[in-house]
Amino acid sequence: MIREVYERYGFEPLETPAFENLDTLVGKYGEEGNKLIFKILKRGEHEATGAADLALRYDLTVPLSRVVAQYQHELPKFFKRFQIQPVWRADRPAKGRFREFYQCDIDAIGSTSPVVEADILGSVSEVLSKLGFSDFVIRLNDRRALGALLECAGVPEPLHADALIALDKLDKVGVDGVHNELTTRGIDAAATRRSLDFFRGLAQEEPHGGGRLQRLREFVAGDQKGTDAVKSLDDIVQLADGTEAHGHIQIDPSLARGLSYYTGAIMEIAVPDLAGSLGGGGRYDNLIGMFLGREVPACGFSLGLERLIVVMTERKMFPDRVARNAVEVLVTIWNDDSRGDSLRLARELRAQGLRVDVYPEPDKLGKQLKYASACQVPVVAIVGDDERARADVSIKDMRSGDQRSVSRADAAAGILEWLKR
Amino acid sequence: MIREVYERYGFEPLETPAFENLDTLVGKYGEEGNKLIFKILKRGEHEATGAADLALRYDLTVPLSRVVAQYQHELPKFFKRFQIQPVWRADRPAKGRFREFYQCDIDAIGSTSPVVEADILGSVSEVLSKLGFSDFVIRLNDRRALGALLECAGVPEPLHADALIALDKLDKVGVDGVHNELTTRGIDAAATRRSLDFFRGLAQEEPHGGGRLQRLREFVAGDQKGTDAVKSLDDIVQLADGTEAHGHIQIDPSLARGLSYYTGAIMEIAVPDLAGSLGGGGRYDNLIGMFLGREVPACGFSLGLERLIVVMTERKMFPDRVARNAVEVLVTIWNDDSRGDSLRLARELRAQGLRVDVYPEPDKLGKQLKYASACQVPVVAIVGDDERARADVSIKDMRSGDQRSVSRADAAAGILEWLKR
């Protein structure tokens, strides 16, 4: 379903290798991220040195950026790709957090236009709607706005990273908690007060309305980058209004996102019953440049497959019967002499499109029927001595108990008719 | 296509993690194999020690055996699974040989019956036939027959492994080459002569006929294990005759297969225009026991996806147009004011099932049309000032050059009609 939506939005499929050169990954995910990269030991005589030269994909964004830099001359000016592959992080496993997990990414390369953000948010919103989610919230912010906010609050530049870590906890520890965090991290009383006053004011605004953006606009009015960021956020909200993201976006100036490569819009999607997010993304206009030597604008979003599955399972959002291409017929084996005949019958039935298993060895018929029943195989085909003599086959519907003899030629048709019941 | 055939043969899907504990893999693939395992450096403070505790899947058979041992009480008595996932080997890359490649495995657990081998060979043969191969050869041998052959030739047990490595090269270096290899490896003149006499005799038999098996039967007549193996090979050939493997099997007593875990039948599939094989497999009745403590019989086969692709590409076996879910419509952007309208139109068209891309930014119309043309997008939708005033849309068929105005409500239907032409 995810792939179908991504393709309908014009994203092309891409897969990348599980490994990247260690150098490609290190330094792209912040200090915490660096520690969580799985590193691969050098091979051969170098193994004894304990040195690592390769690493496993930590996300799909950095490998994409490497690919874009490497194949720049073969890609269209605007390159939109989706990628659904596992990534690996040496994290402590928890609910919905695994060391190997699937990311479902879309990225649009080549344009700084806010149309890109709107189209991406529309696409992931349609995925979530199609999966049956209606209560998801898209938190939207901009890295430049965050910087301006701290600047205008009087947090000195060298402490911005510390302040961001503190502010990022606002929805978890509240205003008082963040006050302590900021103070502990060496932010002075005046800057702490100004920051928190801003967030207190913000809390009085409708989450979905324009009031939050207006307060942000006023607070960063003296800062050019901040003003640009607010304009861009406004554009994204307006444009996304015409997409499936309509009604889901909340401006959230406390959203920081951990990864260090973001440069503009940042976004995260959450539902009330999951700590952490279902996915996140943002604009990273400098990352490809780190490989290519010239800047290429880019923006992307990543949905976490296992997170979706955890919530959908808990909410019982999956249909009772997920289509499972299970075995439809078990062909029994009477004795050693009849084994070849059973395999031939299986071949004939498979040629008619039936999914057929063969009991692997001669055994009491009752035991074979019991096995079919335990495995929930709906139909059993029996080629015993009598059937072989008559060149026919007995078929038994395990659900109704019906049994009848049919010619070999009619066996598949008879079974297919039963399966339709 | 591979998955569809495997499912029709009653194999169930399984995926396993990319990592296994290093201990799980080491010692299962022979000495050469051990060296080619990618090992993952321990994390955190242990990283400095250079020690590895995890490793990447080297094949899909050992992980399956680990899973069967771990979940023994949740699996049916006869467990048939397919698995199509990448594996990693620190090998020197060559034509059709990559460090990351996909294996397409089927395995049947729980029975020692030759019906299992016949069903597996039938299944992979149907895959190859469906893909368009008609000239593939299944080389079939038995590990026990190999042992008996060497025993009867007078090769002492401690030199069996060396002799196997030499004999395995028979199809590459011929009888004279193997003579030198055997001598170099310390096999005495009499045993070398007896072995090579046997293979010279074998070469006079029809590859597909029963003569080879008859010569093997006579040569190992004094060895019980060898006699059992010949009986089992005969059974497999007879049973496989009723499957899609019919006509493809050749008994080949020189086939050794590298992996150390095989215990009975071994098989390999080759085509004349590829050095190496398209896939291989065999019976490994002891491997699960290494994890479980009690023996569980098992047999499997693995097709190499990249090998198939290499040969199919060279032989031009792929259809001219492999179905590609490419973009069908490009929605252009007139100016900043019209961006929202373009996104809304894209949403309407996508809701009708069309695959739609939006040009991300306002640009000269000619440039946007040129871009659509370069990307081979068949239809362009234009929402300019005039169209917005009339609440309609201009659609242009890039293949014919046709252009017309339609109401927004009729746009999708008009485009879908064009796409059918």
Chain A interface, best mutation among B9, B337, B364, by max A CB count within 10 A: B9
In 10 A of CB B104, how many CB atoms? 22
| pLDDT tens by residue, A83-128 | 999 999 999 988 878 999 999 999 999 999 999 999 999 999 999 9
Report CB contact under 8 Å: B347, A243. Answer: yes
In angstroms, the CA B5 to CA A410 distance is 22
Together in a domain, A188 and A335: no
Rounded mean pLDDT of B335-340? 95
Q: Can you tell me the distance from the alpha carbon of B55 to that of B37, in angstroms, rounded to the nearest whole number?
A: 7
Q: Which whole number is the average pLDDT over A268-291?
A: 94
Domain-located, residue B273: yes
What six digits make up the tokens of A94?
A: 């928890």
Same domain, A295 and A415: no
Q: Which helix (H) or strand (E) holds B13?
A: strand B12-13
How far B48 CA sits from the closest chain A CA (Å)?
A: 8
Contacts of A80 in chain B (CB under 8 A): 357
In the predicted model, what is the mean pLDDT of chain B? 93
Full strand arrangement of the beta sheet holding B265-270: B12-13, B79-88, B100-109, B298-304, B279-283, B265-270, B137-142, B249-251
- Locate tokens 């909200």: which residue? A237
| Residues written for chain A | 421
The verdict on a CB contact (< 8 Å) between A360 and B77 is no
**pLDDT score at B170:** 85
User: Does one domain contain both B88 and B177?
Assistant: yes
What tokens appear for B360 in the block? 């991300």
Strands, E, within B199-342: which ranges? 249-251, 265-270, 279-283, 298-304, 329-331
pLDDT average, residue stretch A332-361: 96
The pLDDT confidence band at residue B97, using thresholds 50, 70 and 90, is confident
Instruction: Give the separation between CA A18 and CA B18, rounded to whole angstroms.
Output: 9
Which residue among B41, B111, B374 places its CB closest to the CB of A76? B374
Any domain includes B41:
yes
Q: What are the φ/ψ torsions at residue A10 (nearest 5 degrees)?
A: 85, 15
Q: How many C-beta atoms surround the C-beta of residue A320 within 10 A?
A: 5
Range of the domain at A336: 329-420
What's phi and psi for B177, nearest 5 deg? -60, -45
Confidence at residue B275, expressed as pLDDT on a 0 to 100 scale: 85
Q: Average pLDDT of A309-321?
A: 90
Looking at residue A29, its pLDDT comes to 87
Regarding whether A344 and A296 lie in a shared domain, the answer is no
Do residues B238 and A340 make contact, with C-beta atoms less than 8 angstroms apart?
Answer: yes
A285 lies in the same domain as A353: no
The pLDDT value recorded for residue A317 is: 94
Q: What letter would DSSP give residue B284?
A: -
Residues A192 and A273 in one domain: yes
Q: Which of B258, B283, B314 is where one domain is finished?
A: B314
A92 reaches B (C-beta below 8 A):
no
- Is B16's Cβ below 8 Å from some Cβ in A? no
Query: What distance in Å separates residue B10's CA from the closest CA in chain A?
Result: 5
Q: What is the mean pLDDT of the segment spanning A185-212? A: 92
Sheet holding B392-397, edge to edge: B356-358, B329-331, B379-382, B392-397, B403-407
A100 and A201: one domain? yes
Domain count, chain A: 2
Domain end position, chosen among A284, A314, A344: A314
Quick check: A322 pLDDT over 70?
A: no
Please report the pLDDT score of residue A159 as a whole number: 93
Residue B129 lies in a domain: yes
Instruction: Specify if A320 maps to a domain.
Output: no
Is residue A370 located within the same domain as residue A224? no
- The pLDDT value recorded for residue B207 is 86
Task: Provide the pLDDT confidence category of residue B321 given band limits of 50, 70 and 90.
Answer: low
Does A7 contact B at CB distance below 8 Å?
A: yes
Instruction: Convert the pLDDT of each residue in B110-133 to its tens digit.
Output: 999 999 999 999 999 999 999 999
CB contact residues (below 8 A), chain B span 279-298, against chain A: none
- Residue A251 phi, psi dihedral angles, 5° rounding: -70, 125
Distance CA B5, CA A364 (A): 29
Helical axes A224-240 vs A114-131, angle rounded to 10°: 40
Mean pLDDT of A15-41: 92
A18 → chain B, closest CA residue: B100
Quick one: A73 and A159 in the same domain?
A: yes
CATH classification of the domain holding A289 = 3.30.930.10
SS3 B152: helix
How far apart are alpha carbons B131 and A217 in whole angstroms? Answer: 61
Residue B404 to residue B119: CA distance in whole angstroms: 59
Residue of chain B minimizing CA distance to A344 = B242
Tokens 């699974």 sit at which residue?
Answer: B81
pLDDT, tens digit (0-9, with 9 covering 90-100), for B5-20: 999 999 999 999 999 9
Task: Count how many pairs of residues, chain A against chain B, have C-beta atoms within 8 Å.
Answer: 186
Enumerate residues 112 to 151 of chain B having a beta carbon within 8 A of any beta carbon in chain A.
112-116, 118-119, 122, 126
Residues B218 and B176 placed together within one structural domain of the fold: yes
Query: In the structure, what pLDDT confidence band is assigned to residue A50 with cuts at 50, 70 and 90?
Result: confident
- Checking if the pLDDT of B216 tops 80, the result is yes
Residue of B7, B115, B355 with shortest CB distance to A361: B115
Query: Does B409 have pLDDT greater than 70?
Result: yes
**What contacts A353, CB < 8 A, 6 or more positions away?**
B8
CB count in 10 Å sphere of residue B180: 12
Contact B308, B315 (CB under 8 A): no
Best residue in B3, B7, B8, B39 for a mutation probing chain A (most A CBs within 10 Å): B8
Q: Which chain A residue lies closest to B246 (C-alpha atoms)?
A: A344
Residue B254 lies in a domain: yes
Checking if the pLDDT of B373 tops 90, the result is yes
A218-231 core/surface letters (b: 16 or more CB in 10 A; e: else): ebbeebeebbbbbe
Model confidence band, residue B312 (pLDDT cutoffs 50, 70, 90): very high
End position of a domain, from candidates B273, B288, B314: B314
Indicate whether B119 belongs to any domain. Answer: yes
Dig out the tokens for B160 from the structure.
């069996």
CA A122 to chain centre: 16
The two structure tokens encoding residue A25:
């990954």
Q: With pLDDT > 90 as the criterion, what percentage of chain A qualifies?
A: 84
Terminal-to-terminal C-alpha distance of chain B: 28
Nearest chain B alpha carbon to A117: B360
> Which of A238, A350, A358 comes nearest B115 by C-beta?
A358
ipTM of the complex, rounded to two decimals: 0.89
Phi, psi of B316 (to 5 degrees): 55, 45
Whole-number pLDDT of residue A32: 84
CATH of the domain at B341: 3.40.50.800
For residue A260, pLDDT beyond 80: no
Locate all alpha helices (DSSP H) within A71-207, ordered by sequence: 114-131, 143-153, 160-167, 170-184, 189-202
Nearest by Cα to B40 from A35, A40, A57, A56: A40
Q: Is B78 on the interface with A (CB under 8 A)?
A: yes
Looking at the structure, do residues A113 and A246 belong to the same domain, yes or no? yes
On whether both A304 and A390 belong to a single domain, the answer is no
Q: Which of A85, A88, A96, A195 is closest to A147 using CA atoms?
A: A195
Q: Which residues of B touch A49 (CB under 8 A)?
A: 50
For B12-71, how does the pLDDT look when each residue is reduced to its tens digit (9 = 90+)?
999 999 999 999 999 888 888 889 999 999 987 777 788 899 999 999 999 999 999 999
Average pLDDT score, chain A: 93
User: Has residue A199 been placed in a domain?
Assistant: yes
Banded pLDDT at B322 (limits 50, 70, 90): low
Confidence (pLDDT) at A321: 67
In the prediction, which pLDDT does B421 show? 84
Answer yes or no: are the C-beta atoms of A68 and A79 closer than 8 Å.
yes
As to burial, measured by CB atoms within 10 angstroms (0-12 exposed, 13-18 middle, 19+ buried), residue B16 is middle
Is there a domain that residue B323 lies in? no
